[in-house]
Structure 1
Amino acid sequence: MKKITIYEPAMCCPTGLCGVSIDPDLLRISTVLNNLKKKGIEIERYNLTNSPMKFMTNKTVNKMINEKGIDELPFTLVDEEVAITGRYPTNEELADFLGIPINSFDEESKIDK
């Protein structure tokens, strides 16, 4: 299975699901990642506030920030290669990256690998 890592902009908490106005895309990605985690699939997720060293020590991410700036976050890396910048991956893209069916994102469904 491929390794997926999401590098996010600075947020007040690790998930960004706090405050009075919650971004629906953050809610979607957090829900999907939680459901996948329950099924044994780990997708690493770092935000600039809580994990600044992860941004500095990853050469690919560091180069992207130096070239494009933090306004292009989030970055999604698949096997350490930049796959998406400036937005979160869709559920379909995540399923494709992981090689699993899209219905695997539902809490009740099982993952057929």
Structure 2
Amino acid sequence: MKTVELFEPAMCCATGVCGPSVNPELLMITGAFEAMSKVDGVQATRYNLSNNPDTFSQRADILAAMADDTETNLPITVVDGEIVKQGTYPTLEELGHYTGLVFVPADENKGCCGGSGCC
């Protein structure tokens, strides 16, 4: 099974729709992780520093990566136990590379996966 974990900075919600403005990057990540969670053979989990501090503190690799500067080193993407990206969210292309999945942005082809409902 392919495991993708995302360790995110402290925030009030993971969706990107809270606060004064919508964060399109968080919307994309939320959609991608929701889609990955529905695929057999992929386990996709997000951890928020404010909601899951114990998960952060139990991971020596994450604590070491955050030691220099939490603000610039988060988010951290971990694939199969190995840190693969720090400081920015993974792109759809990168998530596809990590998992072998193909992501189609929702605004292309009139919806996710061309409107087939597979996402």
Assess same fold via TM > 0.5.
Answer: yes
**Counterpart Cα distance in 2 of 1:100 and 1:79:** 15
Whole-Å Cα distance in 2 between the matches of residues 102 and 7 of structure 1?
Answer: 21
Deviation at 1:2, TM superposition (A): 2.1
Contact 1:6 1:74 in 2 (8 A): yes
Task: Give unpaired runs (5+ residues) of structure 2.
Answer: 107-111
Task: Flag the structure with higher helix content.
Answer: 1
Q: Residues 79 and 39 (structure 1 numbering): CA distance in 2 closer, same or farther, change over 3 Å?
A: closer
Match of 1:61, SS state, is helix
> Secondary structure of the equivalent of 1:43?
strand
1:35 deviates by: 2.2
Counterpart residue identity of residue 13, structure 1: C
Pair 1:31 & 2:31 matched: yes
Q: Which runs of 4+ in 1 moved over 4 A?
A: none
What's the TM-score once normalised by structure 2's chain length?
0.79
TM-aligned CA deviation for residue 5 of structure 1 = 0.4
1:7 paired to 2:7 = yes
Q: What RMSD over aligned residues (CA atoms) do the two structures have, in Å?
A: 2.3
Q: Name the count of aligned residue pairs.
A: 110
Aligned to 1:42, what secondary structure does the other structure show?
A: strand
How far apart, in 1, do the equivalents of 2:4 and 2:84 lie? 9
Report the 3-state secondary structure (helix = DSSP H, G, I; strand = E; otherwise coil) of the residue aligned with 1:49. coil
Match of 2:109 in 1: none
Question: Deviation of residue 42 (structure 1)?
Answer: 2.9
Are the equivalent residues in 2 in contact too, given 1:9–1:73 (CA < 8 A)?
Answer: yes
Q: 1:21 to 1:110 in 2, by over 3 A?
A: closer
Asked if residue 73 in structure 1 is aligned to residue 74 in structure 2, the reply is: yes
Following the alignment from structure 1 to structure 2, what is the Cα–Cα distance between the partners of residues 11 and 102? 26
Gaps of at least 5 residues in structure 1 are none
Indicate the structure whose relative CO is greater, using CA pairs within 8 Å and at least 6 residues apart: 1
